[in-house]
Amino acid sequence: MALAAGRVRALSLWRTPVDPVPLGGGITNVNFTVQHAGETFVVRVGNDIPVHQVMRFNERAASEAAFRAGISPEVVHAETGILVIRFIEGKTFTAEDVREPRNLMRIVPLIKRIHTEMPREVRGPALVFWVFHVLRDYAHTLRDGGSRHTTRLQGLLDTAARLERDVGPIDVVYGHNDLLPGNVLDDGNRLWIIDWDYAGFNSPLFDLANLASNNGLTPEQEDWMLTAYFGRPADADLRHRFSAMTCASLLRETMWSMVSEIHSKLEFDYPAYTADYLGRFERALAAHQGR
């Protein structure tokens, strides 16, 4: 943390000395707020994380595209391992906030804007985020790292292969791919989506399933969300494919945490996070198989 704060203080952006203040809540990066010349900024500090397929050139391109699309705050400075973004004064959502019907009605159109508007704004090379590739790659990383979860990996991969078949052919959009509640902000007038570490081309079903699975949407809310997004009532086939992607989203978060257990240097209880999401995944899988 001290080394990261030193990097923030040394940025050429500042005209006067600054005092970085750690910003809690992050489970991938080290973040600070900085007061400078009457303005507040968020400074994200982090290098590429190959084990999570996080590439900072991609995060920067997505963040800048999201600003141009009016979805995310402005990037004011970037250099290797550093992203400086204007601070948004407002409420960071919890899962309960996301589930609030009034908020859900605001979030779903914003997700559709990500999918339809951001492809026109992204510049330079762009990544693909295909959850089933991510799961296979995580399994290699876990085996190579001697993870305590190694013995269960083959079973998880077999399940992932069945889920991939259940998802079937997809449309391709540009997705956020990390719709945890803390990545939604409300400034009192509008919503913002932040943190584009995992952005890339994907199926629209992943962002929808990711939102639902990370925030505990009810089946009724999931049906409403699918209808609102696609403009028609969800039929049995769409529900089945969405259910499979929901399981995949939960498995990805589980295996992300398994990898973080052995690779992350942040102070966070990854084993507890793994156990939480593994339980969510197993319950969602049982429901999917019972359809």
pLDDT tens for residues 176-189? 999 999 999 999 99
pLDDT surpasses 90 at 290: no
Is 142:255 a contact under the CB 8 Å cutoff? yes
Cα-based torsion angle of the residue sequence 246, 252, 257, 262 in order, rounded to the nearest 10 degrees: 170
Specify the pTM. 0.94
For tokens 């994907």, the residue is 202
The third-level CATH classification (topology) of the domain covering 91-289 is Aminoglycoside 3'-phosphotransferase; Chain: A, domain 2 (3.90.1200)
Instruction: Write the single-letter amino acid at 236.
Output: A
Q: Which CATH class is domain 2-86?
A: alpha beta
CA distance 249 to 126: 21
Per-domain boundaries in the chain: 2-86, 91-289
pLDDT tens-digit map of 220-245: 999 999 999 999 999 999 999 999 99
For tokens 């997705």, the residue is 175
pLDDT surpasses 90 at 122: yes
pLDDT surpasses 70 at 77: yes
The two counts, helices (H) then strands (E), for the chain are: 10, 10
Per-residue confidence (pLDDT) for residue 1, from 0 to 100: 65
If phi over 0 gives left and psi between -120 and 50 gives alpha, with beta otherwise, what is residue 218?
A: beta
pLDDT surpasses 70 at 100: yes
DSSP annotation of 253 reads H
Write down the mean pLDDT value for the chain.
96
pLDDT surpasses 90 at 111: yes
pLDDT surpasses 80 at 24: no
In Å, how far are 5, 12, 27, 35, 181 from 78, measured between CA atoms?
16, 11, 21, 17, 25
